[in-house]
């Protein structure tokens, strides 16, 4: 009987751990706010970076909005870091510092729809 209880508790622990394994850590509010501010300064000329953006992008047609980027199933912390760290496509290489990448990634992940 005692071994059955140990096995059951072990299984419960394993199930709980595996259900959390796919979740990404939630970024801090300060990091998200810094990413929002940075996006408005550095990204808003080409993207709709935030709902409170003062002016429209000058790029015609505009680059994908941050909401649409965040809503993609393929958007993850890893994919965003890789994309922002290297030159890519038509977008100029932003040459972001690591802390700026941290901020933008946190902000974009905060826009992901809740599932």
Q: What is the pLDDT along the chain (115 residues), one digit of tens a residue?
A: 554 343 334 444 444 444 444 445 667 899 999 999 999 999 999 999 999 999 999 999 999 999 999 999 999 999 999 999 987 788 888 889 999 999 999 999 999 998 7
pLDDT of residue 24: 53
In order of 6, 33, 68, the CA distances from 107 in angstroms are 42, 7, 13
Write a three-state SS string for 23-71. Answer: CCCCCCHHHHHHHHHHHHHHCCCCCCCCCCCCCCCCCCCCCCCHHHHHH
- State how far the Cα of 23 lies from the Cα of 79, in Å rounded to an integer: 15
88 three-class SS: strand
pLDDT of residue 89: 80
CA dihedral 23, 71, 83, 79 (to 10 degrees): 20
Domains of the chain: 28-110 (1.10.760.10)
- State how far the Cα of 114 lies from the Cα of 20, in Å rounded to an integer: 15
């Amino acid at each position: 009987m005692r071994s059955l209880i140990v096995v059951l508790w072990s299984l419960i622990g394993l199930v709980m751990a595996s259900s959390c394994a796919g979740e990404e850590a939630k970024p801090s509010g300060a990091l998200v706010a810094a990413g929002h501010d940075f996006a408005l300064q550095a990204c808003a000329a080409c993207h709709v970076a935030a709902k409170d953006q003062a002016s429209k992008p000058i790029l015609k047609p505009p680059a994908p909005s941050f909401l649409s980027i965040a809503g993609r199933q393929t958007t993850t912390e890893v994919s965003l870091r890789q994309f922002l760290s290297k030159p890519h496509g038509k977008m100029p290489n932003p040459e972001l510092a690591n802390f700026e990448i941290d901020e933008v990634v946190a902000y974009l992940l905060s826009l992901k729809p809740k599932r």
